[in-house]
């Protein structure tokens, strides 16, 4: 049977199990939208294409399935760019479908033409500009394969208008063999043996786990490794949820705003077992002073990450879960318990704390209350800045795919659309976006989307009237010169903003109002915005100033 390019895309999406897509129409993508009208795929109309890309990512991170976002050519496509970059930095599988001017017009600066494959070249795992409708089905198949396997990432399909109306025989092709793509690699048993031996011989081991544990579904294996060998576990921002943070062996997050005990443990360890993590500068602090006594086992699916930033003694390149399974078969547990005692003592002596001030809402308190009311059973997304770091510190994540934050790119405006995507993918979950007053204004238009589809996300704004994280840097490193970080003038009344969109708006200005507001929000079956008016100049501590060793923590 002959189908148009637009129909082929829809059929291919169905074959790939796509049930929801996030997008925004326009002229060049119209042939697709016309066919979508008759399809059973649910389309969520966002209010800005950036929202579509972040929502697709939120969906992917919450469900483990690839997220799909769609935009028209030109400005539609360029509006996706931040979201694509975000997914690239955090290795999240999304498919971005963009309309394009007809092949005959490409290169002529036609109306709404943008070279989106060129623009996104450095921020995609792969991209396709479809020139021939006969290749389309194969391209969609490859796109999903590439996005979801190996180190996941975004794949862009740019679909010229004439290709979407041209017809071709449709048959969904068998899995495509891509000769330049190897998603999985054989693991050398000898390397596994060596690593297992190193663990057995270690006196001061620590596990440092990242987003790779979550994307490969290896939380069970990670837990078994930690428990059998009695090794403490610290995670990155993206690794939150890989290991339950209420577990006695959990050290919470490490790095710039990590716990003191996690930073001490990694700094004084003699063996770092890095699992699906990439030694980012927010983790290592000053590189040449990072964990000076440690040998490193690095388990990662991406061979290019191994040895990129730190010297690795035991490279284990492969799917994290597969490698951990092998490792567990040969695991030798270290006998020495002294180290664990030391780490536990650090943990007991240096809890995360903040000073209570009567009558003032401390932002940390809001997060604690959210945790207390949800017991870690919901999904939390975050915006970027202090709000994000407090969420990371005080919201104890228990399970994978329940903490969704913009890590590598640090994109303000990520949290709300990501929450919408997560809620669309997990309708039965309670989804909170922990927000800042600055970040929420970057994509607040998506409140309309949440209301329109009754995606009952709860937006908890920690309203400090500042671009707080930048103000914190100005306070601590730039002599309190608060250049362009005060938001007080011009910030909308968030309660009225919520109401304008048809959501519920609540406000809390005193500590005793925090819990009732949260309870009301949770009990309300529609989108809610809560404006928590918090201490204005609270800082996130501990803090390792950029370029400093991890042991040089300030505050907390």
Partner 1 sequence: MRHTLSVLVENQPGVLTRVAGLFARRGYNIESLAVGQTHDPSVSCMTIVAGGDDLVIEQVVNQLDKLIDVIEIRDITQVKYVDRELMLLKVKAEASMRGEIMQIVDIFRARIVDIGQETLTIECTGDAGKAQAIEKSLKPFGILELARTGKIAMVRGPKYGDV
Identify which range of 10-18, 305-313, 382-390, 506-514 contacts ligand TPP by CB under 6 A.
Answer: 382-390
CA 250, CA 235: separation in Å to the nearest integer? Answer: 8
**Which of the stretches 84-92, 126-134, 281-289, 381-389 binds ligand TPP when contact is defined by CB under 6 A?**
381-389
- Residue 383 interacting partner from partner 1, ligand TPP, Mg ion, none (CB closer than 5 to 8 Å by kind): ligand TPP
Region binding ligand TPP by CB under 6 A among candidate stretches 302-310, 420-428, 431-439, 508-516: 431-439
Q: Rule CB under 8 A: say whether 146 interacts with partner 1.
A: yes
d(CA 516, CA 239): 31
The interface region with ligand TPP, picked from 17-25, 255-263, 289-297, 409-417 by CB under 6 A, is 409-417
Angle at Cα 95 formed by Cα 91 and Cα 98, nearest 5°?
130
Tokens 């976002």 locate to 69
Contact 414, 406 (CB under 8 A): yes
Task: Report CA-CA distances (Å) from 421 to 56, 63, 113, 126, 386.
Answer: 6, 10, 28, 23, 23
Query: Is 361 a binder of ligand TPP (CB under 6 A)?
Result: no
Between CA 83 and CA 74 the distance in angstroms is: 16
Sign of CA dihedral 23, 24, 25, 29: negative
Residue from the set 407, 436, 505, 549 that interacts with ligand TPP by CB under 6 A: 436
DSSP H helical ranges for 136-180: 136-148, 161-165
SS3 169: strand
Question: Which residues ranging from 20 to 39 are in contact with ligand TPP (CB under 6 A)?
Answer: none
Residue 184 CB neighbours (<10 A) = 11
CB of 478 to Mg ion, least distance (A): 17
* Region of 56-64, 148-156, 163-171, 437-445 interacting with ligand TPP (CB under 6 A): 437-445
Half-sphere exposure of 491 (CA within 13 A, CB side): 21
User: Which of 323, 301, 318 is closest to 196 using CA atoms?
Assistant: 323
175 near partner 1, judged by CB under 8 A: no
Beta carbon nearer to Mg ion, 239 or 436 = 436
Contact 538, 386 (CB under 8 A): yes
Does residue 216 contact residue 320 with C-beta atoms inside 8 Å?
A: yes
Min. distance of Cβ 503 from Mg ion in angstroms?
A: 20
Instruction: Give the H/E segment covering residue 207.
Output: strand 205-209
Task: State yes or no: residue 437 binds Mg ion (CB under 5 A).
Answer: yes
Instruction: Report what 411 binds from partner 1, ligand TPP, Mg ion, none; CB cut-off 5-8 Å by kind.
Output: ligand TPP
386 is a contact residue toward ligand TPP (CB under 6 A): yes
Among 219, 387, 393, 405, the residue binding ligand TPP under the rule CB under 6 A is 387
Helix 81-89 × helix 49-63 angle, to 10°: 30
Using the rule CB under 6 A, is 415 a contact of ligand TPP? Answer: no
Interaction between residue 126 and partner 1 (CB under 8 A): yes
Q: Which of 153, 436, 527, 542 binds Mg ion (CB under 5 A)?
A: 436
Residues of this chain, 306-335, that bind partner 1 according to CB under 8 A = 307-308
421 binds ligand TPP (CB under 6 A): no
Is residue 59 a contact partner of residue 65, using CB atoms and an 8 Å limit?
Answer: yes
Q: Select from 72-80, 99-107, 244-252, 430-438 the region that touches ligand TPP (CB under 6 A).
A: 430-438
Within positions 455 to 494, which residues make up the interface with ligand TPP, using CB under 6 A? 462, 464, 466-470
Tokens encoding 192: 């596994």
d(CA 352, CA 382): 19
* Cβ distance to ligand TPP smaller for residue 410 or 556: 410
Residues that bind Mg ion (CB under 5 A): 436-438, 464, 466, 468
Residues that bind partner 1 (CB under 8 A): 117-118, 121-122, 125-126, 129, 146, 178-181, 302-304, 307-308
């Amino acid at each position: 049977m002959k189908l148009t390019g637009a129909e082929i895309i829809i059929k291919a999406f169905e074959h790939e199990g796509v049930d929801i897509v996030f997008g925004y129409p326009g002229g060049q993508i119209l042939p697709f939208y016309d066919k979508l009208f008759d399809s059973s795929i649910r389309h969520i109309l966002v209010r800005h294409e950036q929202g579509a890309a972040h929502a697709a990512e939120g969906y992917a991170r919450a469900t483990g399935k690839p997220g799909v976002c769609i935009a028209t050519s030109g400005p539609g496509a360029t509006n996706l760019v931040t979201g694509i970059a975000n997914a690239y930095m955090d290795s999240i599988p999304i498919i971005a479908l963009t309309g394009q001017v007809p092949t005959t017009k490409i290169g002529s600066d036609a109306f709404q033409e943008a070279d989106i494959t060129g623009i996104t070249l450095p921020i995609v795992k792969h991209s396709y500009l479809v020139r021939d409708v006969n290749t389309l089905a194969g391209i969609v198949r490859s796109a999903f394969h590439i996005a979801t396997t190996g180190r996941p990432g975004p794949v862009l399909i740019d679909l010229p208008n004439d290709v979407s109306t041209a017809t071709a025989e449709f048959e969904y092709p068998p899995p495509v063999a891509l000769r330049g793509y190897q998603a999985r690699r054989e693991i050398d048993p000898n390397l596994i043996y060596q690593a297992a031996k190193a663990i057995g011989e270690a006196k001061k081991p620590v596990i440092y786990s990242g987003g790779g544990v979550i994307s490969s579904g290896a939380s069970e294996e990670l837990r078994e490794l930690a428990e059998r060998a009695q090794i403490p576990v610290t995670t990155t921002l993206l690794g939150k949820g890989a290991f339950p943070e209420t577990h006695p062996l959990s050290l919470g997050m490490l790095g710039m705003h990590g716990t003191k005990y996690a930073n001490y443990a990694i700094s004084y360890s003699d063996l770092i077992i890095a699992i699906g993590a990439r030694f980012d500068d927010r983790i290592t602090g000053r590189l040449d002073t990072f964990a000076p006594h440690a040998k490193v086992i690095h388990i990662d699916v991406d061979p290019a990450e191994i040895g990129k930033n730190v010297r690795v003694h035991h490279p284990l390149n492969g799917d994290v879960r597969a490698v951990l399974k092998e490792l567990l078969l040969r695991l030798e547990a270290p006998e020495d318990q002294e180290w664990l005692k030391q780490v536990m003592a650090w943990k007991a002596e240096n809890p995360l704390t903040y000073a209570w001030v009567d009558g003032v809402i401390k932002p940390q308190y809001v997060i604690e209350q959210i945790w207390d009311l949800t017991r870690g059973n919901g999904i939390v997304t975050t915006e970027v800045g202090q709000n994000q770091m407090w969420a990371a510190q005080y919201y104890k994540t228990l399970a994978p795919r329940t903490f969704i934050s913009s890590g590598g790119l640090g994109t303000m405006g990520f949290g709300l659309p990501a929450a919408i995507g997560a809620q669309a993918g997990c309708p039965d979950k309670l989804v909170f976006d922990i927000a800042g007053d600055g970040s929420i204004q970057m994509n607040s238009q998506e409140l309309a989307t949440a209301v329109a589809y009754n995606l009952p996300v709860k937006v908890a704004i920690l309203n400090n009237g500042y671009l707080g994280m930048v103000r914190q840097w100005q306070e601590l490193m730039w002599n309190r010169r608060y250049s362009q970080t005060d938001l007080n003038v011009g910030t909308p009344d968030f309660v009225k903003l919520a109401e304008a969109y048809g959501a519920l708006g609540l406000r809390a200005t005193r500590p005793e109002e925090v819990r009732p507001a949260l309870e009301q929000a949770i009990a309300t079956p529609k989108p809610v915005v809560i404006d928590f008016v918090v201490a204005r100049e609270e800082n996130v501590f501990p803090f390792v100033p950029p370029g400093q060793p991890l042991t040089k923590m300030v505050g907390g």
